[in-house]
Amino acid sequence: MPVEIKDQSVFEQTYHLYLGQLKTRMSGLSEEKLGISIRDNSITLPLLNKPYHITENGVFDDSGNTPLFYFCVILFKYLLIERGDYPKGKEWCSYRDLKDSKPLIGYFKTSVEDALIKSFSGNVKLLEKSCLELGGESIKEEYSYDTAVKLNLLPRIPVLLLLNDVDEEFPASCSVLFEQRAENYLDAECLAMLGVVLVEMLTASNDPGIGRSGTGA
């Protein structure tokens, strides 16, 4: 999970390992299957509505900065995982229902769903506004929640964010749901990290530097 990289050589080795693997598989990537754009040996891949560019020289945002280490891992893994034909299974499910998620269920609840409650309970309008700024779509008319938003974390990995605010009878509750097919695009650890990225980006108004650049997390 996101941790500070104290030994930069570990980051460099892992980063260049993934970069080398990507170079050998670049020609086999499907723009349509992954929702990416490939031009002049440069891949453009949006993460929560922000484009990142992956070239033979590395991963960069529009400003030319290298994102945080775990951002890079998520982007590399999304491009490198072997998934066969177009994955099926668009029904919504909780994180606990995804393949190999069991060791991280508690982490996901605490670091994603409980963190969203802590940040936005009492201010669900701010949560919806922040979601829309990240390209989200309000779908409250389909769900009986104070906030119901669909967001694309990655092109083929949408999430459904549902939050009911605290009231006189019940505490606040939050669910972040994935499509079942998400487990074919990323492993459980990366999907948990994606949830953390979502929390960080939604609360970034208090810290504009989040996710901008660097090698630690």
DSSP track, 13-50: HHHHHHHHHHHHHGGG--HHHHT-EEETTEEEEEETTE
> What is the rounded distance in angstroms from the CA atom of residue 32 to the CA atom of residue 10?
33
**For residue 1, what pLDDT is reported?**
54
pLDDT for 147 equals: 95
d(CA 167, CA 160): 22
Place of tokens 């208090």: 206
Q: Which of 133, 140, 130, 137 is nearest to 151 (CA)?
A: 137
pTM of the predicted protein model: 0.88
pLDDT score, position 7: 52
pLDDT of 84 reads: 75
pLDDT (0 to 100) of residue 8: 57
The per-residue pLDDT for 59 is: 96
**If the chain, 217 residues long, is cut into consecutive pieces of 10 residues, what is the mean pLDDT of each piece?**
56 91 90 93 94 94 94 96 84 97 98 97 93 94 93 97 91 96 96 96 64 40
Q: What is the DSSP letter of 75?
A: H
Q: 92-94 and 137-138 as β-strands: parallel, antiparallel, unpaired?
A: unpaired
